[in-house]
Each structure stands twice: as structure tokens, then as C-alpha cells.
Amino acid sequence: MASVDADIAPVTDREPAERHKSPRADIQAVRAFAVMAVVVFHVWPGAVTGGYIGVDVFFVISGYLITGQLLRLRQSGALRLGAFWAARARRLLPAALLVLLVSTVLTFVFAPPALVTQYLRSIVGSGLYIENWVLASDAVDYLAADNAPPIAQHYWSLSVEEQFYLIWPLIIIAATASVFAKRWGTRAIMGTLAAITAVSLVLCIAGTMLAPSVAYFATLTRMWEFGAGALVAALPARSLPRRVRSAAWAVGWAVLVGTALLYDADTPFPGYAAVLPVVATAGIILAGPTAPFRIAAVQGIRPVQWLGDNSYGIYLWHWPLVVIAPAALGAAPDLWQNVVLVMLTFVLAALGKRFIEDPLRFRLLSGFRPRTILIGTAVSMIAVTVAAGLPAVAIAQASQHEAAEARAEVADPSTCRGASMMLSPSCDEERRATFSRDALVPGLAGLYDDTDGAFACYASGDEPSPPCHFGSSDPDAIRLAVTGDSHAAMLIPGLRDAAERAGWSVDVYVGRGCVWSSDPDPACQKRREAVNTALLSKGYDAVIVAAWNQLDATEKERTERAAQFADRWRTATEAGIAVIPVLDNPAVPQKSAECLTTSRTFAFSTCAFPASEYLLTDPLAIAARSTGVTAVDLRSAYCDDAGVCPVVAGGVVVYRDLHHITATFSHSLSRYLEEKINSVMDATASGAP
């Protein structure tokens, strides 16, 4: 998820008039290092495992340059918000929107159908400069957390930048206009900046421990990195001793290189770990533009300065090429293809700067009033949003319509679609059939959205919520409750069909985590106890239980979880309530999920995976044996007797991600769920074990 700051061009007080003012060579060198660290990290992930620190480096540089500009403008009385925001738009928007438009075209031409709407959604979020919040939302969304990286993912840092540009001038104005500033001068400004930086750092550290995905993308938890640069910019001008400058420069570069090489995906980030690259960057800037060592002269050589000068374009262009290359080439790029990809990135960045960025920034737009530029910015953002958003909505709606039309067919066992192709002996011959990508249901373009209302009644926090109801309203109907996590939710489409046929009255208690068990986790106690009370007190004939059997759980964890299930189930069975656990579907290997998005035809074995590695011992099965309840085992709907688990069964896509089934496949399970549940209910009523 790593990315880079987009504001990597030098900032001046009056951009057109100071076009030829040379930026500091040392800052350009840091830019060059940061952007190349990120590019290499994305193209060859194993080479620079901590290359994601580039984003932190650029946030510090932006804080330094923007704060310095704002303070100078404020001191001269020339700080006008409209002019400042217009200058930022003139600098950043043309290239950014161009790359988004090109990314839209690349999406339609090359992207796998299953990823088209996801890519377009990220383009919309980036066009509106809220991509960081879109990604934060996806990261905490149980159903979106496993999504493939979208084509505009790297715009999250540009979104943070733009939000910073909206907020920071107001803070500088407030700090310099306050009574304290008039009395205390620089100390008041430094105090304000230090307070903001400290609060943001505390939020960042706490957020990284409690909600790391949100902390990574949230503006407030990144603000301290800008603040570190801002504090350097606000320091009174003074000449530091050569020893101090030399130490700051040498230690700073050593830390940047070290963290880029030693940090990896397991490093808790940003949090405490981000302090090192942030402080290192601030130290290099503080050391000043004069190289303290002879070896430091390398930072001024032309290739390094060129990389720094073009780093914005390099950053913008590299990620769409990285994402789309496997689809365009039909396979993951090899070493030399990746080298060509990097070279192409450099060419596009140079062309963009030469013919788009500089002409618009310094000539074509320089004569327009700030209001005109800001209006034009809004119109351009809306245009990009519409260009990507309308097709995304249309594709999703068309796919959902196709899936809705297929539901009755897939629910009929005689059609050998979905679960029936695996469970019905009369469908053995159908396993030889081959389906084209366009004939699949749900359509791959709407795969991630194929939930059919499964999450309409889904709790995400510890607060209990009233249950949803479907099926019969007859007071004499068999009363069932469904409880569990998102895997229970994905059974709802099939259970809803079964309830309508069988006349069941069904209440739904599903939510993220907090499954019905004696797990002592305090974060779930309120909702878990509320669900337990409802299940035991509302006169249900049976409780249907389903839960995610996590692939990475140890055998000890599975056994402990089974015991926690069993503790709760006994309280129900002792009260005369049947407990019906539905054993979980297998997890899906990443290789099979990627195969699904790229294959054009699907036989039974296409993208299939072995049951031996992914259909593991289920804590629900262990708990069922220990309590004597009868589990509903439909795992033969996912893997055959030979241990082969298809991802497409009878033209129906089985999984919407790495472990959730599609709503369409859930509909195909409905008659088998109905049969199994009725069998358990009949056995319970007759007193059979």
C-alpha cells in the first residue's frame, strides 16, 4: 500500500516570476532517493523491502517547503488563500488528472473484468482527492480488505497532500494572527506547530497499534510528518556549526538507506517506525544546501537532479504501469520487461513535464485569476469523476441484473449450475462442460458486489442491533435464528430462498467478529451477550451457526475456539433449542483468485486448488462432536471426492474473494440447506441423536 507524496516540485513565493530559481540540490537528491525507493519497491518488492518510507520523506519535504512559503507570504502581507490554492492546483492538477484519464483508458482496454469496477472506483476517489479515505474504508471493510490493489491506489498520498494544503494555510494564518504571536513572535508559531505535530504523532502511534490500516491512510495520523518539516522551516535563520551539519547529513542519509533496506511488510507502520525516516529527512534539510562532505557532491550531479525534478511525474506514471502490465502482457513481467517499464515511466514523466506541467503552470494558466483556476479545477475533477464513475455504476448494475435473472436457474438442482453440479449425481457429465468468461454468473465485472442483501443487517461494532427478519410471519411457523460473522451472512441468500419454500420464520444476528461463543474478548462482550440473551429468550426452535474457519489459525487456536463454541451451544441445547452449525467453505489461494480474473474459458479444473491444503479442520465440527449436535456438512459442494476444489462450478463463480462465497452460489445451495436443516429439525423433534 505504500506510495509517495505528489508535491515534489520546488515551491516558490511567486511561481511564474521565479520559474528559473534553482531548487536546493540536497532536497532534490532526497526526492530522487525517495521516488526511486518507492518505484523499486513496487517493481521489485524484494529489493527494497522498506521502500514505502518514501511517502514519509516527501511529507516532510512538503511540510518544510509549504510552511516556508506561507510564512514568507504572511510576513509580507501577500498571503491570499485563493491565490495559494490556485497555485497548488496549477502545479498538481494537470498531470494528476491526465494520468487518471489515461488510467481509465488502460482499465477499459487491459484490466481483467473482475477488477474493472474496483479500478474505476479508485479513479473516482482519486479524482475527488479522497482516495486515502476510500482505502482506509476498504482496509477496515471485511469484504474489501482482500481486494487487489487498484490502479489509482498511489493517489492516496496526493489526497493527503491536498487535504493538508486546505488546512495548513488556515493554521498558519491563525498562528501568526493570534495575540500570542504578536507578543511572542516565532515562539508562538513554533509552539503551535509543535503542539499539532505532537498530537498527530500520538494519534499515529496509538492508531498504528489499534487500527493500523486507518492510521496508514488517515490525514490526521500523517499530519505530524508535515509538521516535522514545518518546524524546520519555522526555525529562526542561523548558521549551524559544520560538525552539527555534517552529523545531521551523515546520520540522516544512513537512517534513510537503512530503513529502506531493513523495514518490511511486518514493520508496524507508520507508528514509532516512521519516526526514524521523518527525523532523518528533517535532519538532512536542517543541514542546509551546502554539502558538508566531498562525497556529498554526488547529490548535485545531473542524473540525481533530473530524478528529483521529474519525481512527481515518475511517481504518477509508475503505478498504473505496474498494475496493468501483467494483464497487458498476459503474465507477470520478467526482469527486462520491468526494466523497460521503469524506462517508460521516465519517458512519460519527462514528456508530461515538458508538454503538460510546465506549459500550463508557467504560461497557459499563469494569467488566469485564482477564482477561474479553482472553478476550472472543480470542473476538471467532476469530468474525471464522471468519466470513471458512470461506467462503474453501469457495469455493476448490469452484472447485478444478470445475477438476479440467473438465481432461479441456479437454485434448481436439475440445471447442474453451482452447488448442484458438485452434489447431484446426475450432473457428473456436466463437469466436462466449458464456459466462456462472458457466460459466468455473477459476471466478473460485478463479482465483488455479488452479495444480494446479505449484509443489510450486519453489525460492525460492539453495540447490539435489532435482528432482521425474513421468511414467514405466521406465529406458528418454525422459528430459526442465524448467527455468526460474514460467512454466516453469505449463507443468507440461500437461506432466504429455503425459508420462503419451507415457511420458516428467520431472524438474523450477524456481524463482524463477535461470534456466538464464550470468547472473553472484552471488545465483543456487549454485542455477544446481547445476541446470547436474544437467542435463548425469544423462543427459537433452532439456531443456525456459521463462522470463518481462518486458514492461518493454529490447531491450538482451533481447539480453543471449538471449546468456546461448545460452551454457548450447551446453554441452548439444555433449553431445548437445536443448534445447527454449518461447516465453512475452504479458503482460496491467491493464485487461484488471480487465475479467475485472467482466464477466458473455464473447465472444471481451471484455477482449481487442492482441498488438502485449504479445506481444514473446522472448529464448528470439533464443537459439534463434543456437544453431540449435528452439523450441516456441505463441503462436498466446494471440493469433490478427489480433493479438487473448483472456483467455477457449472458456470457459477463460487467465491467473490479469498474466502467468501458469492450470493449466486449461495442461492444454488438453498435446496441442500433446506434439506439438511429439515433433517436436523426432524431428528431433534423425534429425539434421535
Provide the pLDDT confidence category of residue 8 given band limits of 50, 70 and 90: very low
Write the DSSP symbol of residue 220. Answer: T
- Does position 20 have pLDDT exceeding 50, yes or no? no
| Cα distances (angstroms) measured from residue 557 to each of 485, 531, 560 | 17, 23, 5
Cell 491563525 appears where? 174
Q: What's the pLDDT at 281?
A: 97
The size of the chain, in residues, is 689
The percentage of residues in the chain with a pLDDT greater than 70, rounded to a whole number, is 93
- Does position 203 have pLDDT exceeding 90, yes or no? yes
Alpha-carbon span 509 to 481, nearest angstrom: 7
Q: Which of 584, 585, 479 is nearest to 535 (CA)?
A: 479
Alpha-carbon span 482 to 546, nearest angstrom: 8
Alpha-carbon span 405 to 400, nearest angstrom: 9
Q: What's the pLDDT at 146?
A: 56
Q: Where are the domains of the chain?
A: 25-390, 410-686
Give the cell for residue 356. Answer: 503538460
User: How does 434-443 read in b/e, with b if 16+ C-beta sit within 10 Å?
Assistant: ebebeebbbb
Alpha-carbon span 567 to 570, nearest angstrom: 6
| Cα distances (angstroms) measured from residue 535 to each of 189, 471, 483 | 59, 18, 9
Alpha-carbon span 533 to 522, nearest angstrom: 17
Q: What's the pLDDT at 193?
A: 93
Q: Which of 287, 222, 204 is nearest to 248 (CA)?
A: 287
Per residue in 638-652, pLDDT (tens digit) is 999 999 999 999 999
DSSP 546-576: E----TT--HHHHHHHHHHHHHHHHHHHHTT
pTM for this prediction: 0.84
Per residue in 239-292, pLDDT (tens digit) is 778 888 889 999 999 999 999 999 999 999 999 999 999 999 999 999 888 767
Per residue in 546-564, pLDDT (tens digit) is 999 988 889 999 999 999 9
- Does position 65 have pLDDT exceeding 60, yes or no? yes
Q: Which of 359, 360, 330, 333 is nearest to 345 (CA)?
A: 333
**Nearest-5° Cα angle at 196, 193 to 198:** 105
Alpha-carbon span 459 to 450, nearest angstrom: 19
Provide the pLDDT confidence category of residue 139 given band limits of 50, 70 and 90: low
Alpha-carbon span 400 to 395, nearest angstrom: 9
Whether residue 656 contacts residue 448, with contact meaning beta carbons closer than 8 Å, is answered with yes
Strands 505-511 and 601-602: unpaired
Provide the pLDDT confidence category of residue 181 given band limits of 50, 70 and 90: low
Q: What's the pLDDT at 459?
A: 84
Give the cell for residue 237. Answer: 535563520
Q: Which of 615, 543, 620 is nearest to 583 (CA)?
A: 620
365: Cα within 13 Å, side-chain hemisphere: 25
Q: How far apart are the two ends of the chain, measured CA to CA in Å?
A: 52
CATH among 3.40.1160.10, 2.70.98.50, 3.40.50.1110, 3.40.50.11540 for 410-686: 3.40.50.1110
Q: What's the pLDDT at 10?
A: 36
Alpha-carbon span 93 to 109, nearest angstrom: 24
Q: What's the pLDDT at 14?
A: 36
The residues pairing with 470 across neighbouring beta strands, listed in sequence order, are 506
312: Cα within 13 Å, side-chain hemisphere: 26
Provide the pLDDT confidence category of residue 688 given band limits of 50, 70 and 90: low
Cell 519525481 appears where? 311
